[in-house]
């Protein structure tokens, strides 16, 4: 299974390279375990394992929540990468969750965006 996945991934990367599509690797660890709204860990629904139950009681699709978190990790990295170290550390102090990207969720991206807008306005 792992070999087949690796071959598929290499094939997709090759096709992307041929069509000049930029690719980026994101660590998907913990993305389906964390709620995208920042409420913490989720529990799988007993009857339907594709659903997860947030701490607030809300039920959501696990794969959709995970894809929000994967996208958020990508955009957090792309937003912070070009910034000078002083500005990046200032933002990381205001949104401490973005320091450790393996625990970042969509809510952290929204908070980072708000703080970046506040920094620009000041």
- Classify 33 as helix, strand or coil: coil
Cα→Cα distances 44→19, 31, 85, 97, Å: 39, 13, 39, 24
Domain boundaries, given as residue ranges, for the chain: 2-121
Interatomic CA distance for residues 13 and 24, integer angstroms = 10
pLDDT at 104 over 70: yes
State pLDDT tens for residues 7-41. 888 999 999 999 999 988 888 888 989 999 999 99
Higher pLDDT, 25 or 75: 75
């Amino acid at each position: 299974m792992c070999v087949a996945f690796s071959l598929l991934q290499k094939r997709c990367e090759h096709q992307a390279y041929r069509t000049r599509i930029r690719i980026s690797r994101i660590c998907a660890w913990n993305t389906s375990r964390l709620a995208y709204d920042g409420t913490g860990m989720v529990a799988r629904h007993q009857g339907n394992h594709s659903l997860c139950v947030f701490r607030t009681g809300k039920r959501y699709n696990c794969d959709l929540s995970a894809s929000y978190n994967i996208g958020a990790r990508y955009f957090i990295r792309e937003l912070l990468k070009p910034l000078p170290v002083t500005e990046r550390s200032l933002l990381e102090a205001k949104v401490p969750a973005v320091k450790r990207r393996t625990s970042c969720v969509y809510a952290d991206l929204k908070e980072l965006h708000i703080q970046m807008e506040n920094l620009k306005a000041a």
